[in-house]
Amino acid sequence: MLVIMKNDATKAQVEAVIAEIERLGYRGLPIPGAQRTAVCIVGNEHEVDDSRILPLDGVKETIRVTRPYKLVSRETRPQPTVITVGEVTIGGGRPVVMAGPCAVESEEQTLAIARIVKELGAQVFRAGAFKPRSSPYTFQGLGEAGLKILAKVRRETGLPVVTEATDPLNIEMVEQYADIIQIGARNMQNYSLLRRAGRCRKPVLLKRGMAATIEELLMSAEYIASEGNPSVILCERGIRTFSDNTRNTLDLSAIPSIKEVSHLPVIVDPSHAAGRREYVIALSRGAIAVGADGLLVEVHHDPAHALSDGRQSLYPEQLAELMKDVNAMTRVAGGAR
């Protein structure tokens, strides 16, 4: 349930509403907005009886939130969430391109690719230092040494960096170095990791699990938001289907579906969806056309020797083409959608 406060409600009146919600045995989370302040009631298993809330000073009305996810639902917050990372804004406007190699392999490799990414106009650098690999015998990432390289990338290029935390044990370290904390597809339902990410002060990029429904993705985002972190960027990265032509099947319908029910920004990772670089530009165009707030793409200056995901990593000249397409499509759409 959502308690809508009157426009002139005072801070003390909002606090009194939260205290009453707590007396009823639930939690009350304030949702400040440009138009109105609301308090979202969470923790109730059944419908909340609002007879003790409606008479409180400053309360305008109560609204039932019908979805199982509350804080990330459009019923709770009709306007899109816009997340700011340095000078980059994600959501509600120009699509953002996050690009870089699958993994930090060495300082030389990472800096070389970061310079290309910067020069071609992508706004965020991506690379994993902790790699959740399907095989325990493949490259698992450089760990903290990799994070230090990413800090150097930020110093040298000014690009904010997004990098993955794979475990509640390494998220604190990742938070110190990253501008955006990535939670990968394999961890979308790692609830202790999600809760811990909810206590971070940095935005979280949450990828859709390879067999997860939209509702499950949004429930995972709710875990993060319910711990106090409202800055969640959702990422469609392809799901498992019977089709084995591509690594995964990019579910483009996820973007309008999510936008219908949630205010969170949604970006698309065409690289892990396709598994092959030949399809990445076409899928990127599709993603922007259906309203994605951005792209997360893998690029490598020497993909033949990449330690992971070389087959799906764009050559730099392909990233240049992708940037041109995204910019042209944004111009056609008038810069904001």
**Site map (CB under 6 A) of ligand PEP, residues 261-280, x = contact:** --------x--x--------
Q: What is the 3-state secondary structure (H, E, C) of the chain?
A: CEEEECCCCCHHHHHHHHHHHHHCCCEEEEEECCCCEEEEEECCCCCCCHHHCCCCCCEEEEECCCCCCCCCECCCCCCCCCEEECCEEECCCCCEEEEECCECCCHHHHHHHHHHHHHCCCCEEECECCCCCCCCCCCCCCCHHHHHHHHHHHHHHCCCEEEECCCCCCHHHHHHHCCEEEECHHHCCCHHHHHHHHCCCCCEEEECCCCCCHHHHHHHHHHHHHCCCCCEEEEECCECCCCCCCCCECCCCHHHHHHHHECCCEEECHHHHHCCHHHHHHHHHHHHHCCCCEEEEEECCCHHHCCCCHHHCECHHHHHHHHHHHHHHHHHCCCCC
Binding residues for ligand PEP, total number by CB under 6 A: 10
Among 58, 91, 95, 128, binds ligand PEP (CB under 6 A): 128
Q: Which of 58, 95, 100, 184 binds ligand PEP (CB under 6 A)?
A: 184
Closest CB to Mn ion among 236 and 309? Answer: 309
Residue 102 contacts ligand PEP per CB under 6 A: yes
- Start-to-end CA distance of the chain, whole Å, equals 30
**94 or 247: whose CB is closer to Mn ion?**
247
CB nearer to ligand PEP: give 132 or 291: 132
Q: Is 185 in the site for ligand PEP (CB under 6 A)?
A: yes
Site map for ligand PEP, 61-100, x if CB under 6 A?
----------------------------------------
Residue nearest to Mn ion (CB): 102
Nearest to 233 by CA among 40, 98, 77: 98
Q: Residue 245: is it exposed, middle or buried by C-beta count within 10 angstroms (0-12/13-18/19+)? A: exposed
Question: Is 237 one of the binding residues for ligand PEP (CB under 6 A)?
Answer: yes
CB of 284 to ligand PEP, least distance (A): 15
The CA–CA distances, whole Å, from 315 to 161, 174, 304, 322 equal: 20, 28, 10, 11
x-marked contacts with ligand PEP along 202-221 as a string, rule CB under 6 A: -----x--------------
Minimum CB distance to Mn ion, residue 123 (Å): 19
Residues at the contact surface with Mn ion, assessed by CB under 5 A: 102, 309
Q: Which option in ligand PEP, Mn ion, none does residue 225 bind, with CB closer than 5 to 8 A by kind?
A: none
Shortest separation between residue 312's beta carbon and Mn ion, angstroms: 7
Segment near ligand PEP (CB under 6 A); pick from 14-22, 79-87, 109-117, 180-188 = 180-188
Q: Please, which of residues 313-332 interact with ligand PEP by CB under 6 A?
A: none
Choices 7-15, 54-62, 64-72, 182-190; region in contact with ligand PEP by CB under 6 A: 182-190
Q: Which is nearer to ligand PEP, 58 or 101 (CB)?
A: 101
* Residue 207 touches which of Mn ion, ligand PEP, none (Cβ within 5-8 Å per kind): ligand PEP
The binding site for ligand PEP (CB under 6 A) comprises: 102, 128, 132, 184-186, 207, 237, 269, 272
